[in-house]
Amino acid sequence: MKKLRISILIVILSLAFLATGCSGGSGSATSTSTTTKNGKTIYKWKLVHEEYEGDMQDVYCKEFADLLYKKSNGQIQLEIYSVGQIGDALQQCELLQNGAVEFAIVSPGNTGTVVPENQLFSLHFLFPEDMNKTQEVLKNSVALNKMLRDKYLEKNILPLSFWTEGAMEWTSNVELRTPDAFKGLKFRTMQSPMIIAAYKAYGANPTPMSYTEVYSGLQLNMIEGEENPISAINTSKFYEVQKYLTEANSNLYITATCVNPDFYNSLPNNLKKIIDESIEEMIPRSFEIQEEQNDAALKEIEKKSDIIVETLTPEEREAFKKKALTAYQTYKNLVGKDGAEILDKLMEEINTIEAE
């Protein structure tokens, strides 16, 4: 049934392409199109992301599009579609796999059923607290950029880079300073087996729910809490329907800029070079974006609302960490030998960087 829905969506997108011709425009996403203007080939590609306009992924995508445009002297024109415009996050991923769009921001929390091994990103207290060291891990890790990348390729997804939107923080209607406070709490998660396992380890009642439904879910008390980077908590106004914001820094929201491999491999070397150079420049910029957005978002939240902002102490974090470690074995059981080897290699690399 899911494949039927995606097939129908691809047909709709193709019909939209025929209706708008090769001019691109701002209509529905279409298959790759090119036009010739004054003897110059214009490439019109599509990029879908999982957040709303103005959110961190949207800012990243617009800057990435600008780089492609400038480096190609206007030949590459990247059309950006936010979540909900042509499906939810999982449907967008499937559109990338099927070649209906060329690029997508693919977050493990939304695609754990597609690439189970990527659920290691959902493990709590795995990455360094030092964001500079985390940047080094994401950029240079063999576990991520070779071993895990190969697992994506098996599903017809090519990660160009992994980057973070910052630490995940908790909002709730009760204080969340101990694992016991989570017992029975209806806590919204993404559709990730490992995120669910992480919060079950604290005794919560994890409730998978689409991002577009979270605000109303909190408002109607269908859920009692959720996790997101500060910037998303701000732009989606979750602070309006929650009493507490806990700076837990339990894990990082890791996402990936991905491309359809068949499309990428079909490109001439000069276009591949432009894409690769733009991705490389966006790696440090992505860390700057998350810092700018999250710092500004926290100030806005404190200014606009009466939500109580709390930060876990080192002792409180340690209590959560002890509980969270049980999910590491759950991950290995879920993904099997290959996934376990990826996690072991990543932990080895993180320990080496932490010791520097």
pLDDT of residue 14: 42
Whether 242 contacts 173, CB under 8 Å = yes
Torsions phi, psi for 281 (to 5 deg): -70, -30
> Which DSSP helix (H) or strand (E) runs through 216?
helix 214-219
Q: Give the full edge-to-edge strand order of the sheet including 225-228.
A: 205-208, 186-189, 225-228, 169-172, 244-247, 308-311
Provide the residue count of the chain. 356
Question: Is residue 8 over pLDDT 80?
Answer: no
> pTM for the full model?
0.81
Q: Look at residue 40 and give its three-state secondary structure.
A: strand
* Alpha carbon distance 41, 78 (integer Å): 14
Each residue of 142-159: pLDDT tens digit?
A: 999 999 999 999 999 999
* Alpha carbon distance 113, 119 (integer Å): 9
Each residue of 283-332: pLDDT tens digit?
A: 999 999 999 999 999 999 999 999 999 999 999 999 999 999 888 998 99
Question: Is residue 24 over pLDDT 90?
Answer: no
Each residue of 113-130: pLDDT tens digit?
A: 899 999 999 899 999 988
Average pLDDT over residues 208-224: 94
